[in-house]
Chain A
Amino acid sequence: MVTEFTPISALLGGALIGFAAAAMMLLTGRIAGISGIAARLLPPADRERFPEGLAFIIGLVAAPLLWTAATGWPVSQTVSANLPLMIGAGLLVGFGSVYGSGCTSGHGVCGLARLSPRSLVAVAAFMGTAALTVFLMRHVIGS
């Protein structure tokens, strides 16, 4: 499905994400890496940081609901209804992001903002395999 090119809202939304990452550093001195925050909630959980990690995730989940409540605009999404595919994708995303110590937020936003060479390599690797996967899915297998 074709999606509209939206540079202004993309930049604005990106700036909000960057602002949240900067606020996390200013206040808590930590990287706003979502795979790390989510993984630390799983057993064996870090007891001391469990409540604040859970609070962060609750903030995330509340965002689209509050957005719609405040603006009246629905959050538009097209999610694949192929559930086995989504389960497989979820397993890969969860395993890979934690095994590689970061996802789009930890390596992508925070790591690049710190000018970390390690994160630059990770971003190149996940962007590369993600683009290759979409290419194979859409243009080779043709689904």
Chain B
Amino acid sequence: MRIAVHAIIGLIFGLGLVVSGMVDPAKVQNFLDIFGIWDPSLAFVMAGAVLVAFAGYRLAWRNATPMLDDQFHLPKSTAIDRRLILGAAVFGTGWGLGGYCPGPALTAMGLLAPGTIAFVPAMLIGMWLARMTANATQSAAIGSKP
């Protein structure tokens, strides 16, 4: 049941990325090119997604628990720290260079553009390196406590 639910939600998410045009790196880069050939479409994608999720979340939170779990699992961290800003800044640099963020890149794999086939494995390696770095930093912090 949980597996089928995840596949269907992934499919709907992917269709959203296709319909909205976010799977096209050129469209994403043109949104970012404010002083050039600006295409404001992406702002409408964000607005549509955030408004629907905002309303949907509040409906979901009226229930005591989610339908397939015994509790909600919301991110606990509220820290606005160096790691958050550095990570986001590095991510944005890559997003500008390639026009892909993780969702559209994965969604576009089956379209088999050579640039996508180069991007996705590199992205996965980057993700793995970040997990290793984050784990190492955490263990070092724990280890350094008296």
Contacts and interface: CB of A to CB of B under 8 A. Distances in A.
A13 B17 contact: yes
Interface of A is mostly: helix
Interface residues of A, number: 112
A127 to B, nearest CB: 7
Contacts of A39: 127-128, 130-131
A24 B9 contact: yes
A93 B54 contact: no
Given A3-B39, A32-B9, A110-B53, A94 B16 contact: no
A65 B26 contact: no
A9 B19 contact: yes
A92 B15 contact: no
Given A29-B65, A104-B103, A131-B96, A38 B21 contact: no
Given A38-B124, A38-B127, A99-B130, A19 B52 contact: yes
A52 to B, nearest CB: 4
Interface string B49-67: 1111111110111010111
Contacts of B75: 31, 101, 111, 116, 118
A56 B127 contact: no
A79 B113 contact: yes
Interface string A66-93: 1100000001111111110111111111
B145 interface: no
Interface string B62-98: 0101111101111101111001111111111111111
Interface of B: 2-27, 29-30, 32-37, 39-57, 59-61, 63, 65-69, 71-75, 77-80, 83-103, 105-111, 113-116, 118-131, 133-134
Given A14-B20, A14-B47, 20 more contacts: A6-B21, A7-B41, A9-B19, A13-B17, A19-B56, A20-B13, A35-B127, A39-B130, A56-B6, A63-B10, A86-B122, A89-B100, A95-B87, A98-B87, A98-B130, A99-B133, A105-B13, A118-B78, A129-B91, A132-B96
5 contacts: A25-B66, A55-B10, A86-B98, A87-B118, A96-B89
